[in-house]
Amino acid sequence: MSESDALAHYVESNRLEHFVNYELVGKSALRVQRWRDQWKLKRRKPRPDSPLSPPLQCVAYMKEIMSRHYLEGRYASGVRKVAWVTSGAPTEPLQALGYFLVYPENHAALCGVRRKAQSIAEEAEHAGWSRDICSYARTDIGAMLSGKTPAGRLPRPDMLVCCTNICQTVLHWYRVLADYFECPLVLIDTPFLYDEAHDHEVAYVKRQIEDMIHVAEEMAGTTLDQARFAEVMQNARRGAELWLEVLNRSQNRPAPMTAFDGFIHMGPIVDMRGEAVAVQYYERMLHELDARIARGIGAIKNERYRVLWDNLPIWFKIGEFSKSLGEHGVNVVASTYTYAWGELAPMIDPNNPLESMARVYLHPILNRSTGHKLEAMKKMVDEFQLDGVILHSDRSCKPYSLGQIDQRDRLSKTLGIPALLLEADHNDPRDYSNEQGANRLEAFIEMMEARG
């Protein structure tokens, strides 16, 4: 299609705003911004007083593609069908059908990192939602009610897809969204795996994915193109494989990145899983990490202790924790949370998409038993040669947190390594005590020092 034809199409279908603000101006402006960021990063001199090495250069690309995603979202309504989806939802068919996907959890995390979450969550609290419900949900409900968001504007959903493989909270949260937006809510119910998946559980999830495809096709007024679907599945698998490789690079000593970097760089695998841009991004990131490893550059200048982080990050403390732990030579090199988007890569089978999707989306660590998570942590302690574990006891994420008391005890007793339960919340600063947190972290570091 020529430029003039494309323009005519957009005008005819009342899509001029999308074309001008996103396709024409927005993308170019973000590219220029990325060049500027790259230039700044290259010229940035190492700070002798900082315990951290300079940030990864690829962060400029991530900023560009994530900003582009949110920018398109501002103008997506009426141009593409919009689905709001949970972070563990089987989105590949939706992508192949051309849906624009919004991940409310990622949006809430963005609010957390930008330290806007509390004020936005308070909008939901003023409307009656309790402070005892998930702070992601409160943040997004607050944004929905007030329009406040650092992303500019989120497109109104045509459809909601809620998959319970990360928690039951999302079901209750999405029921609220469905009531507010008066749009269809598609449920993918994934039975919790106390042990291995049974055949009837896989069949159940597969059937629901098939039903979701029918609903999405009907809404989009088109049918799923199998070639495009296969391409998305290939990208999903490759992207997850690369993400896993990225994370496993931290098995090197010194680790070229921290888990806190991982929390930031997981944006594309969550929001753009199945898109070529995510594959390209992680190829670039892997290349940069390999270069760091070859030159012996660690994310922490003086890496003395290597630690595992369990549970979601404390988004509003990422930078502070990275620096303060780094000052003690502590590198949080791995996390169970970031691993969740990579460890299932081998299960993705583009030749058997629906069956393999059913299995993949049943098996995230959050949908598996507390005993399984303990074994996963033990394996990581071994593979990453870890000296300790920080278990973030997250008030807002009960399925991830319940079981941590026993897990901590088992880690300490069976592996003989310090394991700390750190009380906080992933998005609400009111549920974290700076003084108490700092004291507990200091005690944890002393325990590692005592072990030598």
Partner 1 sequence: MLRAHRLHPIEIWGPPHIARHEGNRHFQTYACDIVVKAMAFIRSGGIDATRAILVPHTCDALQGMGSVLTDFFRPDQRVLTLYLPRGRRTSDRDFLRDELARLSKTLVQVSGHEPNATEWAEAFEAEDAADAALADLYRRRNALAISDRDFYTAVRSREFLTAEKFCEQVATLPAGQAPRGGVGLMISGIVADPFELFDQIEQMGAHVAGDDLACGYRRVYSASHEHDPLIRTANRLMSCPPDPTCGTPIHERVEALQTRMRALGAKGLLIYDPKFCEPELFDVPLLRKHLNEAGFPVLHVEYEMGEGLPHQTLSRIEAFVETLS
E strands, 258-394, in order: 305-310, 330-335, 388-394
Judged by beta carbon, residue 402 or residue 438, the one nearer partner 1 is 402
Judged by beta carbon, residue 67 or residue 311, the one nearer partner 1 is 311
As measured in angstroms, the least distance from the Cβ of 164 to partner 1 is: 6
Judged by beta carbon, residue 141 or residue 246, the one nearer partner 1 is 141
The span from the CA of 429 to the CA of 138, in Å, is: 13
The span from the CA of 91 to the CA of 274, in Å, is: 8
The span from the CA of 285 to the CA of 246, in Å, is: 7
**Which residues lie near partner 1 (CB under 8 A)?**
127-130, 132-134, 137, 164, 167-169, 171-173, 175-176, 178-179, 185, 187, 189, 191-192, 194, 198, 200-201, 203-204, 207-208, 211, 369-371, 374, 393, 395, 398-399, 401-406, 410, 423
Residue located via tokens 């024409």: 24
The burial of 12, by beta-carbon neighbours within 10 Å (0-12 exposed, 13-18 middle, 19 or more buried), is given as exposed
As measured in angstroms, the least distance from the Cβ of 357 to partner 1 is: 15
The count of residues in the chain is 452
As measured in angstroms, the least distance from the Cβ of 390 to partner 1 is: 15
As measured in angstroms, the least distance from the Cβ of 271 to partner 1 is: 24
As measured in angstroms, the least distance from the Cβ of 180 to partner 1 is: 8
As measured in angstroms, the least distance from the Cβ of 268 to partner 1 is: 28
Judged by beta carbon, residue 188 or residue 318, the one nearer partner 1 is 188
**What are the tokens at 130?**
């309790």
The span from the CA of 97 to the CA of 94, in Å, is: 5
Judged by beta carbon, residue 161 or residue 246, the one nearer partner 1 is 161
The burial of 277, by beta-carbon neighbours within 10 Å (0-12 exposed, 13-18 middle, 19 or more buried), is given as middle
Q: Over the Cα atoms of the chain, what is R_g? A: 22
SS3 (DSSP) at 187: strand
**Cα distance from N-terminal residue to C-terminal residue, the chain:** 66
Judged by beta carbon, residue 13 or residue 168, the one nearer partner 1 is 168
Judged by beta carbon, residue 41 or residue 192, the one nearer partner 1 is 192
267: left (phi over 0), alpha (psi -120 to 50) or beta: alpha
As measured in angstroms, the least distance from the Cβ of 370 to partner 1 is: 4
Which residues lie closer than 8 Å to 160 by C-beta, 6 or more apart? 83, 84, 85, 174, 177, 178, 181, 183, 184, 185, 186
Judged by beta carbon, residue 11 or residue 203, the one nearer partner 1 is 203
Judged by beta carbon, residue 65 or residue 178, the one nearer partner 1 is 178
As measured in angstroms, the least distance from the Cβ of 9 to partner 1 is: 38
The span from the CA of 442 to the CA of 241, in Å, is: 36
Spatial CA neighbour of 238 closest among 288, 271, 268, 276? 276
The span from the CA of 162 to the CA of 203, in Å, is: 18
Angle at which helix 59-74 crosses helix 276-295, to 10 degrees, equals 160
- Dihedral through CA 418, CA 419, CA 424, CA 426, nearest 10? 120
As measured in angstroms, the least distance from the Cβ of 444 to partner 1 is: 18
As measured in angstroms, the least distance from the Cβ of 427 to partner 1 is: 15
Judged by beta carbon, residue 41 or residue 183, the one nearer partner 1 is 183
